[in-house]
Each structure stands twice: as structure tokens, then as C-alpha cells.
Amino acid sequence: MEKKNVLKKPSIDEMTAFCKRKGFIVRSGEIYGGLAGFWDYLFLGSELKNNLKNAWWQFHVRERDDIEGIDGAIITHPDVWKASGHVDSFSDVFVVCKKCKKPGKVDKSELGKVKCECGGEYDSSSAKEFKLMFKTEVGLKDYGYLRPETAQLIFANFKAVFDGARMKLPCGIAQMGKAFRNEIAPRNFIFRCREFEQMEIEYFIKPKEKCPYDIPNVEVLVLASGETKEKKMSLKEAHKKKIIKKDWHAYWLGQELSFFKSLGANLDNFRIRQHDREELAHYSSDCWDLEYNFPFGWKELQGIADRSDYDLKQHQKFSKTKMEVLDEETKERFIPEVICEPSLGVERALLVFLYEAYNEREKENIVLNFNPKLSPVKVGVFPLIKKEEFENIGLSIFHNLRKKWNVVYDKSGSIGRRYARQDEIGTPYCITIDGDSVDSGTVTIRNRDTTLQKKIKIEKLEETLGKLLYGELPFESLK
Ligand code: GAP
């Protein structure tokens, strides 16, 4: 992906305004002033989000032999959340900043240690516990919770999936979908919302089982627990030096970084950070976060926790359903351990890809250099001038291509303006119908990233676009 004339990355407020202006994302209930922490995905945002989720599912579920996917309910039996510990302990501490007087939230472990974004100290006398789950009525007299993570549905269905799909350890179960948290201080656009989506995997092993996979060959900034400065190194080196203690952690960190790289992200903007002991969640014995260098600082993009056998044991205890599996060698039964839980927020990943793609060309022109798999619109079709024979060819191409992809047909304005409109929303290829299309059945295809143009026969168009969009053919190789 060629990046041209990167002038500056937008602030989070500029990105919010850009996404609204172009039809990606707006505050939910905007016409009534919006509701903090809730966002609506419009005609481009919904396509972008679906493309991201499909790419995640393809990479993590369909292309692997050892992972199956599920789609659980948003409201489930409330005992699921008692067993998991959420009812008792899923809370933050509400605090008010002494300097700017704004409300903020801290984790229980951070009380007295972290400061407000303005640099001010939090007033400890204002601190009070704040439960994060949304409670709702179910029928006339029952109640339920909107799920605060997708993970528990995986644990509650573990035996049904493991036995039903005849899985063998090591193996994983994946889920993507909505999660809800009554965040005290939603902020930074879609970075922290009250309604969001997660893409999660619970990866199960036999206790002490070694990772049979190679650690991906990835270099990244590494910030180990207790260190103040990150160091660039390969994941293999970090594991060899025992900075990343478990082979499984090094492997999954590598997988997740490879996923971002496969969709065009520059890994120089990422780092991995190990949680300090007091930061670890109640269920976790080790956790590494993938962080991204957002305009508002290094922030958590994805958590990769070791959850041990905590959740399956809890569900076995509360539901009285056996969560054990059979060890084929020793014929003993045991509860598998979750060695890694790669848990990624859709909104945060989407924000990363927006920042990675956002570039300014020449003076004012914004170009979104999305990987074509993510682009909300794949192809723009333009008749060069408003003449019936040009438009007939254009419409026939448009109707044919839109059976496969999201395609737009645009006949208004100068051709330069039409290209610019598509560049701004990240459309990777534009097709122009001109005099040669009428005379000799060729069209011009233009590459967003280089602005290079090539002539191509109409009958070859669909096949060629298919290869270009999935990275199977370099544009320069077109004759
Ligand atoms: N099952 C583990 C779990 O839920 P988490 O660290 O609380 O762990 C995982 O959340 C990921 O979900 C985060 O790394 C982030 O990407 C996303 N996430 C969490 N809270 C969010 C929020 N309020 N808004 C947007 N994304 C959020």
C-alpha cells in the first residue's frame, strides 16, 4: 500500500467530524443531541464494520482447523454472571478530578496512583464503586443483564461445542458480537463506548501443554511489567529472554499482530505491554495488552489474558454441569485451561484502521488507503460524459459488479471530483467509460493509492478486479 504526502494525523475530534461528514459514524440519537457512549454506523460505517468482522472471522475461525465459532444471546441466564464473578466484582471506581472537576473512572488497583487526563489528581473523598453491567427486566417478574463481554457465553457453551464439534485440545472457541458496559466516562469517540462489539477467542489447552505452533516472525515494541521504557525486539527473542514467559502468549501476540499487518497496518504504531500484578483481573494470572499509539496516547487495543481454568470451574460449580474432558492417553478427566484469551474490541480495531488509512494528498485531499478487503465501497463506475452509449455501458458494468461487491455508479461532476470523492472514502479502484469503451470495448481502471491508470477489456474486468481486491495481482502487472 503506497502512502503519499502524509501531512498529519487528525486529532480524535477531527476524526469524529470526518466520520460524521462522510457518513461513517454519528452519535446515536444525533437529532436529539446524542446519547453519550452510543454510536450509529451509517452507510459507509456499517460496510466497514462488517468487512472488518468478516476479515477477523476468516482469519481466526475459517482458516483454522482448531477454532469453532458461536453466536450467543445478549441476555442470558443471570446465574452466568454470578458464576463468572461479574455480579459481585465487575465495577470501576467513580472519581472527580480536583483540577478540571470532570468525572473519571479508575480501576480499583489504580486508586491514588493515576491522574486525570488534564494532569490533575483525583479527589479520593469522591471515590465510590460503580457497577458496570446494565440490568433489565425480562418478562413480568424476571431480570437479566446485557452481557458485558462475549466470553462467558463461550464458557457456558463449552461442552456443547467441544463435544458436538468433536474438538481436540489444544483448541479454541470464538465469538463476535455486542457487549454493553455502563461506563462512567465514555470518551474519545468510539474508543470507549457503552455499547460496543467484541471479537473474542477462548483458547483451551491441557494443563502445561506446550504450544505446537511456531512463534510468528514479528518485531514489535515490548514493555514488560515493571519497566518504564519499551524495547523493540522480535517475539521469539522476547520469549527466549523469558520476557514473555509462555510460548502460547508469544504465539497469540504474534497471531494478533499478523492479523493487523495482513490488513495493511504499520506495526511501528503498536506495542505490547504486560500487566502489572495488581492490574490483573480477578481471573487472570498473566495478561499482555496490544496497545496502539492513538493521538491521545498509547492505549489498550486488545487484551490477551491467561484465564486458567477459573471460568469453567466456576460454571461447573454453579450449574452442576461437568466441564471435564477426557485425556485420551491417561484416560483421566480434567478441566481444560484457557491459556490465552485474545479479546479485541471491534470499535477500537476500526479506529486503528481509520488512523492507519487516513492520509492527506497534496493540499486538502484526504485519501483513505484502506486495504481493499476493508474498503466500504470496492469500485466506482463513471461514464466520462453524459452520453447514452457511455451510460449504457457504465450501467451494465455497474449492475454486473454489484452482484459481488459494494459498487457505486457516479455520473455527476468532473472526473477529478469523482475520483476525489471515492479516494476520501477509501474506494480502491475506479472504472471510467470513455470513447474507447464504445469503439473497442475497453475501460480505464484507476488505482487509488498510486493514481496510475490502465486500459482493460470489459470482458476481463470482473476477474481482474477480483484478483486486485484480494491481493492476488499487482496493479502494475496489468498491461
Ligand atoms: N473477555 C475479556 C474482556 O472483556 P476487557 O479488557 O474488559 O476483557 C476486551 O475487554 C476488549 O474489549 C478491550 O481490549 C477493548 O478492545 C474492548 N473494550 C472493552 N471495553 C470497551 C468499551 N467500553 N468501549 C469499546 N471497547 C471496549
- pLDDT tens sequence for the chain (479 residues): 444 555 678 999 999 999 999 999 999 999 999 999 999 999 999 999 999 999 999 999 999 999 999 999 999 999 999 999 999 999 999 999 999 998 888 887 788 888 888 889 999 888 999 999 999 999 999 999 999 999 999 999 999 999 999 999 999 999 999 999 999 989 999 999 999 999 999 999 999 999 999 999 999 999 999 999 999 999 999 999 999 999 999 999 999 999 999 999 999 999 999 999 888 877 787 899 999 999 999 999 999 999 999 999 999 999 999 999 999 889 999 999 999 999 999 999 999 999 999 998 766 689 999 999 999 999 999 999 999 999 999 999 999 999 999 999 999 999 999 999 999 999 999 999 999 999 999 999 999 999 999 999 999 999 999 999 999 999 999 98
Q: Which atom of ligand 1 is nearest to the CA of 289?
A: 14
Beta bridge partners of 270: 292
Q: How far is CA 169 from CA 243, 314, 401, in A?
A: 26, 20, 43
For residue 401, which of 374, 378, 433, 373 has the smallest C-alpha distance?
Answer: 378
Distance 181 CA to ligand 1 centre (A): 9
Q: How far is CA 352 from CA 299, 300, 301, in A?
A: 11, 11, 8
Residue 100 phi, psi dihedral angles, 5° rounding: -90, -10
In short, whether 193's Cβ falls inside 6 Å of ligand 1 is yes
Distance 214 CA to ligand 1 centre (A): 28
Residue 123 parent element (H or E): strand 122-131
Looking at ligand 1, which residue's alpha carbon is closest to its atom 17?
A: 345
Distance 46 CA to ligand 1 centre (A): 20
Distance 189 CA to ligand 1 centre (A): 15
Distance 167 CA to ligand 1 centre (A): 27
In short, whether 95's Cβ falls inside 6 Å of ligand 1 is no
Q: Which atom of ligand 1 is nearest to the CA of 149?
A: 4
Instruction: Specify burial of residue 299 (Cβ count, 10 A radius: 0-12, 13-18, 19+).
Output: middle
Distance 299 CA to ligand 1 centre (A): 12
CB burial readout 386-425, b (16+ within 10 A) else e: eeeebbebbeebbeebeeebbbbbbbeeebeebbbbbbbb
CB burial readout 33-44, b (16+ within 10 A) else e: eeeebebebbeb
Q: Which atom of ligand 1 is nearest to the CA of 150?
A: 1
In short, whether 256's Cβ falls inside 6 Å of ligand 1 is no
Distance 344 CA to ligand 1 centre (A): 7
In short, whether 149's Cβ falls inside 6 Å of ligand 1 is yes
Distance 327 CA to ligand 1 centre (A): 33
Residue 159 parent element (H or E): helix 158-164
Looking at ligand 1, which residue's alpha carbon is closest to its atom 15?
A: 345
Distance 198 CA to ligand 1 centre (A): 7
Distance 475 CA to ligand 1 centre (A): 38
pLDDT at 3: 47
Residue 25 parent element (H or E): strand 25-27
Instruction: Report the predicted TM-score, pTM, of the whole model to 2 decimal places.
Output: 0.95
The x, y and z cell numbers of residue 407, run together, are: 459498487
In short, whether 147's Cβ falls inside 6 Å of ligand 1 is no
pLDDT at 363: 66
In short, whether 345's Cβ falls inside 6 Å of ligand 1 is yes
Distance 32 CA to ligand 1 centre (A): 28
Q: Which atom of ligand 1 is nearest to the CA of 191?
A: 25
Looking at ligand 1, which residue's alpha carbon is closest to its atom 12?
A: 345
In short, whether 449's Cβ falls inside 6 Å of ligand 1 is no
In short, whether 151's Cβ falls inside 6 Å of ligand 1 is yes
